Chain A
Amino acid sequence: MSTKDMMPHFDLFQPSDVENAIELLDRYGAEGWAIAGGQDSLAWFKDRVKRPVAVIDLKGIPGMTGITETAEGLEIGALTSLTEIANNTVIQNSYSLLATAAGRVASPQIRNIGTLGGNICQDTRCWYYRSGMDCYRAGGNTCYADTPEGQNREHCLFDADRCVAVSPSDTAPALVALDATMVVQNSDGIREIAAEDFFIGPDVDIERMTVLEPGDVLTSIKIPARWAGATFYFEKVADRATWDFPLVNIAAAIQLSGNTVEDIRIVCGAVSCVPRRLTVVEDIVRGSTRDAETIDLAAGASSRGAVTLNYNHFKIPLMENLVRRAIRDA
């Protein structure tokens, strides 16, 4: 699979501001491709599965990097590297959930270049889709993963709709748990979208993972002060400690009063096409003490409604145990 020749040709643009980038993206439409760190994009091009005519490199845009404290909380430029987020003292002190999640992505080299925006917007890892098969997500009319022989160990438990791919991001569940807001700009202006609504499942659009359409640029991510300094828990289970995408990950923000859970947001990644907010768990735990009975009840409820494929049954106990740990050990 691994070819070591050149990627197919594309025209490369290096705009110096967002307006210019959007103009280029509008000009090329579906044939344009916005690239940030490139850690996901270049692999698509090398495999010849995605063949954009024009690649618009956003890295030269000065306003899109950096971490700023604002009156409402924190604003992080979409092009800020994952290493910078993992090592930032403000994020470590007040929003350590995000720092931990960013520090668990891929490998040190990839975190040095890979961006927060890219980690959120990256495409799914379903290998049938990524190897260029004409599946539903690629515009075809078959799912190769959801078949008797399909290798679907990494695929979804919830909300499958023809496609069974999952969200591969580690930072996305953390951002949903922190109730972050995505700032998206296009030629019509700037709009803000709650992290929870930013990710979309195959029932909404089977060919996209986020609400971003051609011409949209994710410019920054806002994190409200609401959860600053809360009790956090993040855990990622993957085959290897480095590189691998999560089999299941969990991100929780909990406000405790003694041992009583005053408020909680808990989000599970890699079990559905979007980071799955576990509102059932939240409702069970909110207002209760963190005793064994509550935790067992919450863990059992977390996987309610799961529909397994041939090889991913293990994700149910894995998910339940991660929920248990998140509430108990946070």
Chain B
Amino acid sequence: MTLAAGQGFLSPTGVEIAFLLVGVATLGAAVVTVTTRQLVHAALWLVVALGGLAVEYLLLTAEFIAWVQVLIYVGSVVVLLLFGLMLTKAPIGRSPDADSGNRWAALAVALAAAATLVWVVVDAFRSTWVDLDKATAGAEAGAGSTRVTGEFLFRHWVLPFEALSVLLLAALVGAIVLSRRDREDPKAGGGTGPTSGRSGRRPGVRGTGAGTGPRTPRLGTAGTGVTAPRTSAPEAPAPRASAGRTPAGARGDAAGQAPPPAAPQPPAPPRPTPR
């Protein structure tokens, strides 16, 4: 790292222009993610936003971080989100209940978080010039290569890394404890399943009237009329038309309802791991 004297502040090289453009696109995708009324579209715009972040990492030569970003966030977290959406509502078209009442609070939190992060980065680096192509300290590869990242992570930052993994382990155990179903009180596990990351999903109010009418192919309801009962294979969940929900989520809100036979996606608890 050297001072930026002579390098100019934001000298408009091709990489920097690309960085800014991708940043604008990422920001736009993120804004659409939180403003769109179509839940599945929100998840897909999130893919664009997270992918844009990965491209930004690439432009900063942090290749390893970029691929891990794609692997974890696009490949696992968004898949988990889509899985949760399809398992609960499977909405197509606008969801009138997708709006949150505390949008202004959310906006304030977002702005505060953004201000904090920008301030931290600006204050930490000020006018230092980081040459991304050259080696940082004797390594032959670029500053963002896997080797350099690994050395930093496991030489200088081992303790925080391990602490984080313990935290994740605690979260994992907590998710398993919360989603266990062998307790007497069926309300206790409500909303704590692995798919509960979405707002506005309240067990019990998702009757047939809460959706978007006939465009909502909710699992198990009689939307397609005659076709549903025909799939009476033993493992197809369609015949459970009265339940109106699939059994995998760990939220038995109907007290006294028998545990569903042969759950199609049984091992729900371990899914939060990718976070």
A binds B: no
